[in-house]
Amino acid sequence: MILLHPSTGFFQRTSKLFLNEQASWVQLKEFARKNAANALSVANMVMGMTSILCSLNGYHYAACWLVLIGYLLDFADGAVARQLDACSKLGAKLDDFADFTTFGIATSLLIRTPNILDNILCMCYMMSVFIRLCFFSTGIPFMYRGLPCIYSSAILACLSLLTRGNMTVLRITAVAMILFMISQNHYPHDRVLESQYWKKMVYAGGVVMIFCSSFTPVCLYYLLWSMSYILFPMSLWSTM
């Protein structure tokens, strides 16, 4: 019979524990890599749901601000997924759910009033976002059909803040955004965080502005950003 020295058994147990901890750490890192983009999509959805609650409870300023935070998160989730090679069907579904929550439901409530016509406009806006998300594919790489709903949401949120909820301005803008979203016009895939350096700086400026500035400069910044995509999509924002 072979007797093992007590220190040998302790060494074996320690090595086994270390290897188990190392394997767990590797699994944890792999889980984080695969779900980092999904976490950003969920955060975007949370911003949208919180914005909905703010709108329903009369906190108009906060509702608009949360939509703009969702705007930044939506740019980030796709870039992170591609950078970490973690694209998945689940991620695509989460992204669509988050977009519809924040840029469909939450944004439409910014133009809702007790007026029946405004409620109809609110529903039309939600439906146009739904149609846009379901049928955006063009079959052309890096191209969308119809204006991405993220930009129409940013424009409505900014104008709502700048005009202090002027419904005449918001109604006209909402109708225009609906027409842009359901149009057959082609728009480029705006990979802001995966493109030229100046686009990354635009994004970084948006992050700094929204957390470090008052709402007027922030609104003007995001309004200029979104309008530039609508007016000069190919010359400024194309990644091709």
More confident residue, 37 or 239: 37
In terms of C-beta density within 10 A (0-12 exposed, 13-18 middle, 19 or more buried), how is residue 124 classed?
A: middle
Evaluate whether residue 5 is within a structural domain.
no
**Residue whose C-alpha is closest to residue 147's, from 66, 67, 231, 220:** 231
What pLDDT, on the 0 to 100 scale, is given for residue 30?
A: 67
Evaluate whether residue 8 is within a structural domain.
no
User: Between 116-134 and 89-99, two packed helices, what is the crossing angle to 10 degrees?
Assistant: 160
Q: Tell whether the model's pLDDT for residue 153 goes beyond 90.
A: yes
**Structural domains counted in the chain:** 1
Cβ-proximal residues to 186 (8 Å cutoff; 6+ apart), any chain: 138, 140, 143, 144, 145
Q: Tell whether the model's pLDDT for residue 15 goes beyond 60.
A: no
Region 10-38 average pLDDT: 63
Evaluate whether residue 117 is within a structural domain.
yes
Which residues constitute the domain of residue 121? Answer: 13-237
Separation of alpha carbons 171 and 113, rounded Å: 11
Evaluate whether residue 1 is within a structural domain.
no
What pLDDT, on the 0 to 100 scale, is given for residue 1?
A: 46
What is the pTM assigned to this prediction?
Answer: 0.85
Evaluate whether residue 4 is within a structural domain.
no
CATH number at 88 reads 1.20.120
Contact between 156 and 128 (Cβ < 8 Å): no
**Residue whose C-alpha is closest to residue 204's, from 25, 16, 76, 51:** 76
In terms of C-beta density within 10 A (0-12 exposed, 13-18 middle, 19 or more buried), how is residue 86 classed?
A: middle
Band (144; pLDDT cuts 50, 70, 90): confident
Evaluate whether residue 3 is within a structural domain.
no
What pLDDT, on the 0 to 100 scale, is given for residue 24?
A: 64
Evaluate whether residue 6 is within a structural domain.
no
Contact between 132 and 104 (Cβ < 8 Å): no
pLDDT, one tens digit per residue, over 92-101 is 888 889 999 9
Lowest mean pLDDT among 28-37, 54-63, 129-138: 28-37
Q: Tell whether the model's pLDDT for residue 172 goes beyond 60.
A: yes
What residue type is 8 in one-letter code?
T
How many CA atoms are closer than 13 Å to the CA of 102, on its beta-carbon side? 32
Region 89-112 average pLDDT: 91
Evaluate whether residue 197 is within a structural domain.
yes
